[in-house]
């Protein structure tokens, strides 16, 4: 992690906390980063081009229209300081600070097929109870799991996949003396 990105992310969090707009800034910042990352041309223009700062500012003001003034001023500062290319890293630092402040653990749940929203909600509730913090799982699909799911939270893996169960069963069968 870039040290400057870490400092900027923490400063943005402190300012948003002071203004009581932590979650609004988080939501708009996440949306902004996703929009830019989904468009390689936008990334090139906004992060890497020799486009004048005033033009970059105008583009960011349009993209971030409706966002809290604090976030817009922060984006303008990043452009002025030639740090806008660190926006994704800054957003990651900010998200970690928000999650820590709100006692939220982010993780992923991998399943053999797309989970229904109700299944995802149940898994979030189950792991929230188990870990004593709010858990937000993002879904992924891995057909090799065959069935079941694998959850990864804070470096911990909870594997309830059929693939693992078959592997363990095979291991047990290999150890059986006939």
- 24-60 pLDDT per residue, tens: 999 999 999 999 999 888 888 888 778 899 999 998 8
Residue intervals of the chain classified under CATH 1.10.520.20 are 3-100
DSSP strand E in 5-133: where?
104-111
Q: Is the pTM of this model over 0.75?
A: no
Do residues 134 and 106 make contact, with C-beta atoms less than 8 angstroms apart?
Answer: no
CATH architecture of 3-100: Orthogonal Bundle (1.10)
Pick the CATH number of 103-174 from 1.10.3470, 3.40.30, 3.30.70, 3.30.465: 3.40.30
Gap between the Cα atoms of 48 and 36, Å rounded: 13
DSSP strand E in the chain: where?
104-111, 134-141, 148-153, 156-161
Gap between the Cα atoms of 109 and 64, Å rounded: 31
């Amino acid at each position: 992690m870039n040290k400057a990105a870490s400092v900027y992310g923490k400063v943005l969090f402190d300012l948003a906390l002071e203004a009581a707009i932590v979650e609004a800034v988080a939501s708009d910042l996440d949306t902004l980063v996703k929009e830019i990352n989904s468009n390689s041309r936008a990334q090139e223009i906004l992060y890497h081009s020799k486009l004048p700062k005033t033009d970059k500012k105008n583009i960011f003001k349009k993209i971030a229209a409706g966002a809290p003034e604090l976030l817009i001023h922060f984006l303008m500062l990043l452009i002025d300081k030639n740090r806008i290319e660190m926006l994704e890293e800054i957003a990651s630092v900010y998200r970690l600070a928000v999650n820590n402040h709100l006692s939220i653990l982010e993780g992923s749940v991998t399943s053999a097929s797309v989970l229904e929203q109700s299944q995802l909600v149940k898994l979030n509730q189950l792991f929230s109870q188990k870990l004593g913090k709010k858990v937000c799982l993002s879904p992924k699909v891995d057909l090799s799991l065959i069935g079941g799911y694998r959850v990864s939270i804070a470096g911990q893996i909870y594997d309830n996949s059929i693939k693992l169960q078959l592997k363990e069963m095979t291991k047990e069968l290999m150890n059986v003396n006939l």
